[in-house]
Amino acid sequence: MATESAGSLGREELIEAYRVMRTIRAFEERVHTEFASGELPGAVHLYAGQEAVAAGVCGALVEGDYIASTHRGHGHAIAKGCDIGAMMRELYGKAGGSCNGKGGSMHIADFERGMLGANGVAAGGAPLACGSALSAKVLGKSHVSVAFVGDGAANQGSFSESLNLATVWQLPVVFVVEDNFYAQATGTRYHLRGLDVARRAEAFGMPAVTVDGTDYFAVRDAAATAVERARSGGGPSLVECKAGRFFGHMEGFDQQGYRGAGEVDRLRAEQDCLVKFVTAAGLSTSETADVDVTVDAAVEVAVAEAKAAPSPELTELLTDVYVSY
Amino acid sequence: MTQPQRVLSYLEALNEALAQEMAADPSVVVFGEDNIGGTGCDGTLGHAWGPTRGLHNQFPDKVFDAPITEAAFVGAAVGAAATGLRPVADLLFVDFAGVCFDQILNQAAKLRYMVGGKAKVPMVLRAMWGTGMRRGAQHSQALYSMFTHIPGLKVVAPSNPVDAKGLMASAIQDDDPVIFFEHKLLYFGSRGVVPEERYTIPLGEAKVVREGGDVTIVAIGRMVNEALAAAEQLAADGVEAEVIDPRTLSPFDFDAVYTSVEKTSRLVVVDESNPRCSIATDIAGNVAENRFSALSSAVRTVTSPHAPVPFSPALEDAFPPNAGKIVDAVRSTLAASLSKAS
Ligand SMILES: Cc1ncc(C[n+]2csc(CCOP(=O)(O)OP(=O)(O)O)c2C)c(N)n1
Ligand SMILES: [Mg+2]
């Protein structure tokens, strides 16, 4: 696959990309064990395996750009620069969480970072990204909006309607479809008839490409092209990224018997985006080790602080329902 | 010799109702996301986690997995119901009614009326509801009041396995569209002795689950257990509460409530949904309008607050009604009673 950006990215950018992906991986692996120990509440959907998509896409964005995420949103949030301490507190439902504990994993948001929110409703973010793109267009700003959507969520009417609206209004939006081959326990071979979602974009007259979602550089190049098109007034695009998830659909819920024997082991052994990246980027062992140590320590601190943090005050039940009432 | 009594969970009772109705009537079909579980994958089938689990083994041609297309498959249930099938469609969380509301509000509910009675829509829409699982604002709502508001829909919310089975059978056999509310904490948390044979419980028939002469408590779904716990606490102080489980919200057995209020003169309604324009205010309003003279005290409602459901366990635990809040409401209605009741 094209590695245009492998050549054009400087050492610091490569290390930063590694740091982002490695942070997502460490965060998710840790959340997995925390959940298994019974300490962590809620519906938690892990992103491990798909890191190159969030990192590659957000790597092509600049400050002020927006993303609308999904129920599997930790990776998007981290790649967009959200604080993992606040995220971890949010996962534990604690005061000082990204949403002061009111949202949880499925609703992490940080508007200052352009992270418009994870979403509990399949494809719920696609129309929202059209909206933030409309804001930029009407307000004369150069901001681009990205909607992340799963393969399963791509079957929602709101997703098709968003593709249509974005082309008709020529919105500066990029739809990033993350095909991880499953919607819960239903395979894409069935629910998409094995066809690429990119073909649907073409039906709306929208440029679309399909890339290997475990290849950071492939994702980043495709995203950069789509983002540049949007920023320069060329309208919406779709980037479809294929990358399997390392964990079940949702923590504590999924025995994964629907997956083929050895599938996850093979994914981890052969399709690990981090391993591929280190090789392709030519990062040295000392370069990665420096990042690893810092990242692991930061995740450790995030968990310890989240556990120690107080719960929100009960008066919070009735705040934020309205601005004024 | 008597058979050992068979205990089922709420989830298993629903599964049995679906299986028995499918076996009895070949027009019953079941579909929704992961209702089989595993379609289009390399592993095994049978990964539905809810009440449809395993049905495909017995009825391979009658159970379907659906893509995430609620607007299409709920609408398809309406069309299929009007043309010879009895579909049982699965919304998973009732919150997802948001993406297919037109099919419920404007198609299912209105078709029969609009065509002058020339069609019927014998479908069931199953939906999980309620707080308590740390699922946050978009996966925890108690939206039955909204559906009860709509003429043409029937609304069922069982509180235990025996009712769940009998009401599901009635819902499937009913010729009108029924929204069937399954509380997510009851699936495994509510267990009981359930008859093995096929049976029905009529829609629109409330059940007095505890008798008492001092106050009537009407409670819905999971709140029935909270009301019973409250009644036990009150009994320790010599207050006898009568607890009524309406079981179906549309149609609603107002007579059962009126009869009880005539006896007790006091009413507390316990409803997990938000307080405004709710089933609680509906029951309170009807009693005020039709049995005002029987009341010795103002009707109290115990509901969740006018806010979305919070994620944080500390906040979520404080959100819905519970036995303590019910006891407080009963005490306040007793304290405020006019002398005529004593
Ligand atoms: C409208 C709607 N229907 C159903 C669900 C329940 N649900 C949550 S995640 C999910 C599967 C989503 O699959 P996909 O979009 O491929 O994302 P992935 O989980 O694979 O990241 C489903 C069906 C939902 N959240 N919203
Ligand atoms: Mg998927």
CATH number of residue A278's parent domain: 3.40.50.970
Contact B243, B206 (CB under 8 A): no
Lowest average pLDDT, out of A82-96, A300-314, B326-340, goes to B326-340
A142 vs B253: CA distance, rounded Å: 60
How large is the average pLDDT for residues A119-144? Answer: 98
How large is the average pLDDT for residues B151-156? Answer: 98
Of all residues in chain B, the one with the smallest CA distance to A41 is B134
Quick one: pLDDT at residue A8? 87
Count of CB pairs separated by less than 8 Å, A with B:
169
Q: Where are the domains of chain B?
A: 7-193, 207-341
| pLDDT at A50 exceeding the cut of 70 | yes
| pLDDT at A4 exceeding the cut of 90 | no
Closest listed ligand to the CA of A121 = 1
Average pLDDT, chain B: 97
Is there a contact between A257 and B47 if contact means CB atoms under 8 Å apart?
yes
Is there a contact between A186 and B312 if contact means CB atoms under 8 Å apart?
no
Domain count of the fold of chain A: 1
Residue-wise pLDDT for A203-236, tens only, equals 999 999 999 999 999 999 999 999 999 999 999 9
Residue-wise pLDDT for B114-146, tens only, equals 999 999 999 999 999 999 999 999 999 999 999
How large is the average pLDDT for residues B20-45? Answer: 98
Is A68 part of a structural domain of the chain?
A: yes
Instruction: Enter the DSSP assignment of B106.
Output: I
A21 vs A273: CA distance, rounded Å: 8
Query: Of ligand 1's atoms, which has the minimum distance to the CA of residue A249?
Result: 19
How large is the average pLDDT for residues A148-164? Answer: 98
The CA distance from A38 to the nearest CA of chain B, in Å, is 13
Cis peptide before A41 (omega within 30 of 0): no
Is A214 part of a structural domain of the chain?
A: yes
Contact A200, A33 (CB under 8 A): no
Chain B residues close to A263, C-beta within 8 Å? 42-43
Quick one: pLDDT at residue B339? 61
Quick one: pLDDT at residue B342? 43
Token output for B295: 């009341």
Q: Closest to B138 (Cβ–Cβ): which among A121, A257, A258?
A: A121
- Helix (H, G, I), strand (E, B), or coil: what is residue B144? helix
Give the containing element (helix H, strand E) for A147. strand A145-150
pLDDT band at B341 (very low <50, low <70, confident <90, very high): very low
Cα diameter, chain A: 58
Is A103 part of a structural domain of the chain?
A: yes
| pLDDT at B71 exceeding the cut of 90 | yes
Is A323 part of a structural domain of the chain?
A: no
Average pLDDT, chain A: 97
Quick one: pLDDT at residue B64? 97
Cα dihedral A257→A258→A259→A260 (10° resolution): 90
Instruction: Enter the DSSP assignment of A42.
Output: S
Is there a contact between B314 and A41 if contact means CB atoms under 8 Å apart?
no
Burial annotation B48-85 (CB, 10 A radius, 16+ → b, else e): bbbbbbbbbeebeebbbbbbbbbbbbbbbbbbbbbeeb
Chain B residues close to A316, C-beta within 8 Å? 310, 312, 315
How large is the average pLDDT for residues B322-339? Answer: 93
Nearest by Cα to B40 from A184, A71, A69:
A184
Top-level class of domain B207-341? alpha beta
Q: Closest to B42 (Cβ–Cβ): which among A99, A263, A321?
A: A263
Selected residue of B39, B64, B65, B68 to mutate for chain A interface (largest A Cβ count, 10 A): B68
Instruction: Enter the DSSP assignment of A153.
Output: G
Note if B139 is an active site residue: yes
Is there a contact between B38 and A186 if contact means CB atoms under 8 Å apart?
yes
Is A325 part of a structural domain of the chain?
A: no
A3 vs A221: CA distance, rounded Å: 8
Name residue A163's amino acid.
Answer: L
How large is the average pLDDT for residues A160-165? Answer: 98
C-alpha A244 – ligand 2 centre gap (Å): 8
A148 vs A150: CA distance, rounded Å: 7
Residue tagged 């804001």 (tokens): A135
C-alpha A184 – ligand 1 centre gap (Å): 7
Residues with CB under 6 A from ligand 1: A 45, 71-72, 120-122, 150-153, 180, 182-184, 249; B 33, 68, 70, 92, 96, 99
Chain B residues close to A107, C-beta within 8 Å? 136-138, 311
- Helix (H, G, I), strand (E, B), or coil: what is residue A92? coil
- Options B56, B139, B149, B183, the catalytic residue: B139
**Which residue lies with its CA nearest to atom 12 of ligand 1?**
A183
Is A278 part of a structural domain of the chain?
A: yes
Q: Is A219 within 8 Å of chain B by CB?
A: no
Name residue A224's amino acid.
Answer: A
Name every residue whose Cβ is closer than 8 Å to that of residue A203 and which is 6 or more positions away in sequence.
none
Is there a contact between B318 and A317 if contact means CB atoms under 8 Å apart?
yes
Token output for B72: 């299409």
Parallel, antiparallel or unpaired: strands A145-150 and A237-242:
unpaired
Contact B275, B303 (CB under 8 A): yes
- Helix (H, G, I), strand (E, B), or coil: what is residue A87? helix
How large is the average pLDDT for residues B266-295? Answer: 98
Is there a contact between B34 and A186 if contact means CB atoms under 8 Å apart?
yes
Of all residues in chain B, the one with the smallest CA distance to A315 is B315
Residue-wise pLDDT for B155-210, tens only, equals 999 999 999 999 999 999 999 999 999 999 999 999 999 999 999 999 999 999 99
Nearest by Cα to A187 from B52, B51, B37:
B37
- Helix (H, G, I), strand (E, B), or coil: what is residue B88? strand
Task: Write out the residues surrounding ion ligand 2, Cβ under 5 A.
Answer: A 150-152, 180, 182-183
- Helix (H, G, I), strand (E, B), or coil: what is residue B51? coil
Selected residue of B131, B311, B315, B316 to mutate for chain A interface (largest A Cβ count, 10 A): B311
C-alpha A181 – ligand 2 centre gap (Å): 5
The CA distance from B101 to the nearest CA of chain A, in Å, is 12
Q: Note the Cα B196 to chain centre separation in Å.
A: 22
Instruction: Enter the DSSP assignment of B158.
Output: -
Give the containing element (helix H, strand E) for B161. helix B161-173
Name residue A150's amino acid.
Answer: G
Give me the CATH topology for the region B7-193: Rossmann fold (3.40.50)
- Label residue B177 exposed, middle or buried (CB < 10 Å: 0-12, 13-18, 19+): buried
pTM: 0.97
Q: Closest to B41 (Cβ–Cβ): which among A102, A119, A259?
A: A259
Quick one: pLDDT at residue B1? 55
Contact B304, B289 (CB under 8 A): no
Residue-wise pLDDT for A255-291, tens only, equals 999 999 999 999 999 999 999 999 999 999 999 999 9
How large is the average pLDDT for residues A96-121? Answer: 98
Query: Of ligand 1's atoms, which has the minimum distance to the CA of residue A188?
Result: 16
- The contact set of B with A (CB < 8 A) is 33-34, 37-49, 65, 67-69, 71-72, 95-96, 98-99, 133-139, 305-308, 310-315, 318-319
Is A95 part of a structural domain of the chain?
A: yes
The CA distance from B13 to the nearest CA of chain A, in Å, is 21
Quick one: pLDDT at residue B338? 80
Is A81 part of a structural domain of the chain?
A: yes
Contact B28, B86 (CB under 8 A): yes
Token output for A128: 């929202």
pLDDT band at A2 (very low <50, low <70, confident <90, very high): very low
Domain limits for position A98: 4-318
